[in-house]
Structure 1
């Protein structure tokens, strides 16, 4: 039961006074004002999610992004996904020659576990809108769709070989040497990770030689094909380091992954030129500033922290998402098939439990001041983070201690949540090694 005016505590009164409606697209106006105009506003808007399987997070994130692109001139969307897969979506939404006309067809072809993260109806609907929006624009003004992640080692190496074969055949042997170095591991990241525990620099030299050669091409980086080639080489280098670090445990692998995401974001901004503006879609644990959580105490950085440090706090707006209870798409263990799972009522004392008591609306928007002084924004408390792996019976482990007003610039809240809609079912298959925090 929500408190009445005579029983509400100080924090609940603060929350009630700050809650804005979040029912219609027009309700996003206060957040759009916080993001600011094309000139002088935020250069990067990072939109989170409290799970990888919740309809409300994906749908409202897409709604806000449509307005940022159509009305505020944002240049591209960069997501927590693999570069090669997202590059094919990018070709579709920008109308590249020979690309599928329907981006849903590309998303439905995703096969790397967990496929539901991007192969879902919510993402497909946004990408169809993006293609339609781009169709009326000249090529240089079309908004792209890119992947920030580091997992696609073998796929990225094959893409570089294809590029060099077509454009610089005299250097293709350098790429093939790198690919051959990884061949004995059978495209299994776990086998590679365990092997490099004994031989730490197993293929590092070959990948660095490939990157160095690409960067030295005269005029390199001017075309979309160049961008795709160099980013695939960067992914291969980052993945090799990531898998080596993962097997040793600790924060290093997480940091390699998020630094790679931040570097990729900066590379995309540079490619799109002066005045480029970026929207990022990733989990709260990536976009919310790590310094406002216990992640920093464990030696971890993240994309949100790095973006603020590199571009300035005033040029980055971070929007977190939170939910009470309902349903979510997740897997019971790493690499297992997806399931619709119940999300438990929030842990007592958590941010979500406080919002469930205080917010009169089923969903609400909060836009924070630059230096918030309200107690609920300055007190550290648990904030739920569901990854691709989730066990409802162990839900109490999913809460990251957070100082909300320092972690985000705004928050979208949903008391009840529902599962997103995957494009296809999947069989259990080999996935990537798990990263910290668990399952995210």
Structure 2
């Protein structure tokens, strides 16, 4: 389960008896202290009730939370599940406040850079209308983002950018499905008169298309893997992306185009890094470090970035015991943006959530509603659900002696992930937690 969150690529690459080298060379993880399972009662003084009836009422009740976020360069907003309507809605409202009132100008999703860039470009077209969103979202977003709550975010972005001089841009930090990255690079470098560059972009596109198609097939139980061919393709893809990235350093292109293509090349190289790491060092590759590298890139020297990703990624600590790939994305970002990183987790005790039966999510996966089982006894959720307020937040650093290792539910995008818990000390992982006692599955696109 941990690999679905923190090293999705390696989850498929390193499974099976024939691939044990990575496990043999990985350093032993420290033994975590036993989790505390006694139910706790939060100090009422810590609870900040949140009114969700209207955006205006919400804005007033989250002023203390916004005050903590406003001065940061990077604010991550986690999600306890990939398919909860309230997590999308409340993070949208928080994002809107940070953009409209505090100068944040980039929203980074757990979605591939190239596809998200193409979606953003379509949103910027003045002729675009909300009615055109559905096909764009289905083409460029992983299925977990294809819901009506996310459509509301994009509709707001369209309206905001038509009426403000400084646009808010949608961008991506994930490293799956990189064909769009390769297509951007081939088109953007088509006029560069260098046979080696043209050969490298053509090779990268070939490797990206093969790899993306392989990801789609991995969810088919009848698919017979050709692991040697996959490894070879991945190694070629890394070398091609590396050549393209080096060529961009001397290419004479307009500044904005140079930035976009550099992001695509960097994203593609990170996507194939798992194959490079295995081929050269016989070790795993950290998806969280890739998220952090892409976040640093899109932030650049001047942008203020909001990241939407799973709680397990944006945390400062690892999501599961035994994971030896470094900290969570938040740990890397804390070091990259010292004192300028803030992370909010979201959680729920029960209700429904949207998930897919596919083993690996893709833009074509189908998300349907499923029940969340009752929170595990002794978990954070079991204790937090006892608070009277249906929606509230609290600062984790004020938990004091109550901030012990306790199970925290981390639900992914797949059916069956709803029973996964990770022993977590909230204050070490997050700055605040926004809790929704009863939640509902994300709404299908209309």
From 234, 238, 254, give the equivalent of 1:204.
238
Equivalent position of 1:304 in the other structure: 330
Contact 1:89 / 1:106 at 8 angstroms: preserved in 2? Answer: no
> Could you give the per-residue CA deviations for residues 106-141 of structure 1, whole angstroms, max 9, x where no partner exists?
453344798432221111111111221121222xx2
Matches within 5 A, 1:361-376: 361-369=389-397, 372=398, 374-376=400-402
User: Is 1:168 matched up with 2:192?
Assistant: yes
Contact 1:49 / 1:283 at 8 angstroms: preserved in 2? Answer: yes
Partner SS for 1:252: coil
C-alpha RMSD of the superposition? 2.9
Contact 2:317 / 2:428 at 8 angstroms: preserved in 1? Answer: no
Q: TM-score, normalised by structure 1?
A: 0.80
Partner SS for 2:407: strand
From 254, 269, 292, give the equivalent of 1:237.
269
Q: Measured at CA, do residues 164 and 127 of structure 1 come closer, stay the same or move farther in structure 2, by a change above 3 Å?
A: same
Q: TM-score, normalised by structure 2?
A: 0.79
Hey, what's the Cα distance between the residues in 2 that align with 1:13 and 1:237?
46
Structure 2 unaligned residues grouped into runs of 5+: 1-37, 52-57, 219-224
From 357, 360, 363, give the equivalent of 1:332.
357
From 44, 47, 52, give the equivalent of 2:77.
47
Give the superposition deviation at 1:92: 3.6
Hey, what's the Cα distance between the residues in 2 that align with 1:234 and 1:244?
14
Matches within 5 A, 1:194-273: 194-197=228-231, 201-218=235-252, 220=253, 222-223=255-256, 225-242=257-274, 252-253=284-285, 255=286, 257-270=287-300, 273=301
Hey, what's the Cα distance between the residues in 1 that align with 2:40 and 2:283?
34
Contact 2:179 / 2:212 at 8 angstroms: preserved in 1? Answer: no
User: Is 1:136 matched up with 2:169?
Assistant: no
Contact 1:193 / 1:246 at 8 angstroms: preserved in 2? Answer: no
User: Is 1:19 matched up with 2:80?
Assistant: no
Give the superposition deviation at 1:265: 1.2
Equivalent position of 2:315 in the other structure: 288
Contact 1:385 / 1:399 at 8 angstroms: preserved in 2? Answer: yes
Equivalent position of 1:422 in the other structure: 444
Matches within 5 A, 1:7-156: 11-14=40-43, 16-23=44-51, 24-36=58-70, 41-93=71-123, 95-96=124-125, 101-102=128-129, 105-111=132-138, 115-138=142-165, 141-156=166-181
Structure 1 unaligned residues grouped into runs of 5+: 1-8, 425-440
Tell me the matched-pair count.
388
> Could you give the per-residue CA deviations for residues 80-102 of structure 1, whole angstroms, max 9, x where no partner exists?
01222211232244x24xx7613
User: Is 1:343 matched up with 2:372?
Assistant: yes
Hey, what's the Cα distance between the residues in 1 that align with 2:407 and 2:187?
47
Hey, what's the Cα distance between the residues in 1 that align with 2:237 and 2:157?
39
